[in-house]
Chains A and B, each alone.
Chain A
């Protein structure tokens, strides 16, 4: 019965994945990424991870994709791939190695899959994750706040405007 939900979600995720990689315009890639994130949130719900599904929608779809869209608007990137390929055989090799890698990955991960244990209805709720986060993972949780602070400072320093005397675009 869960297949009825899983198959459309998985198909949408795969279609979105192709869109991210194959879209010519970065904006279309961002929208495809949004589709992937939303359908993965659905699969999280199927896997009894309600809190993670909500985080996925709020953080990824709500914050990260919007940041991507802002930057895309800011850069008015001219689309289109470079006319000259600096590494001529890279594209073909990427697909060949990707295929080999996919086979390896599927064999390695599927061999570790087994029957699922029954879980309590409270599994994956915010309360459940919060208890784990603030008891067993308290130090990593606090370190995460330091990482976020470092990210904020780094973005502010890297992204600040250059001093007016040398101006922008000194190509």
Chain B
């Protein structure tokens, strides 16, 4: 039986990878995938705790995270396509219209 802490360490490492990816990459698509990585690591923590406590609520939370992640990806990718149409770039440093 693998202890919960092993899953939690895996989840923490994946989340940190995603966070570092958001910070170091400049390609909007890859930043988006790093965000998906973070969402998935949180899902893993939810499922691990659901198993530990023997409660189904954690898995229901994962279901809602999946729904929100799907919507987020659809809207976000539409935005990226729109930005690419007007700027011919997906580099987030090129999108600085609101910077003072």
Answer yes or no: do A and B interact.
yes
In the complex the two chains form, is B74's CB within 8 Å of A55's CB?
A: no
Q: How far is the CA of A14 from the CA of B41 in the complex (A)?
A: 11
Selected A-B contacts with CB under 8 Å, 8 pairs: A33-B33, A36-B40, A77-B90, A82-B26, A116-B52, A124-B50, A147-B67, A147-B68
In angstroms, how far is the closest chain A Cβ from the Cβ of B71?
3
B residues 59-97 near A (Cβ < 8 Å) are 59-60, 62-64, 66-75, 77-82, 84-88, 90-91, 93
A8 at the interface (CB under 8 A from B): no
In angstroms, how far is the closest chain A Cβ from the Cβ of B31?
10
B11, B20, B34, B81: the one contacting A75 at CB < 8 Å is: B81
B2 at the interface (CB under 8 A from A): yes
* A20-B37, A23-B30, A68-B33 as given contacts; A94 in contact with B67, CB under 8 Å: no
In the complex the two chains form, is A132's CB within 8 Å of B56's CB?
A: yes
In the complex the two chains form, is B33's CB within 8 Å of A133's CB?
A: no
Q: Could you list which residues of chain A lie within 8 angstroms of chain B, going by C-beta atoms?
A: 2-3, 6, 10, 13-14, 17-18, 20-21, 23, 26, 29-30, 33, 36-37, 40, 43-44, 46-49, 51-52, 55-56, 59-60, 63-64, 67-68, 71-72, 74-75, 77, 79, 81-82, 86, 90-91, 93-95, 97-99, 101-102, 105-106, 109-110, 112-119, 123-124, 128-129, 132-133, 136-137, 140, 144, 147-148, 150-152, 154-155, 158-159, 162, 168-171
In the complex the two chains form, is A110's CB within 8 Å of B73's CB?
A: no
How many A-B contacts if CB must be within 8 Å?
242
Q: How far is the CA of A117 from the CA of B54 in the complex (A)?
A: 6
In the complex the two chains form, is A102's CB within 8 Å of B13's CB?
A: yes
Is chain A's binding surface mostly helix, strand, loop or mixed? helix
Is chain B's binding surface mostly helix, strand, loop or mixed? helix
In the complex the two chains form, is A67's CB within 8 Å of B4's CB?
A: no
Residues of A within 8 A of B67 (CB): 144, 147-148
Best-surrounded residue of B27, B32, B49, B69 (most CB of chain A within 10 A): B27
In angstroms, how far is the closest chain A Cβ from the Cβ of B23?
4
Residues of B within 8 A of A36 (CB): 14, 37, 40
B residues 1-30 near A (Cβ < 8 Å) are 1-21, 23-27, 29-30
In the complex the two chains form, is A29's CB within 8 Å of B30's CB?
A: yes
In the complex the two chains form, is A110's CB within 8 Å of B5's CB?
A: yes
* A14-B10, A82-B91, A101-B19 as given contacts; A20 in contact with B71, CB under 8 Å: no
B8, B37, B43, B57: the one contacting A33 at CB < 8 Å is: B37
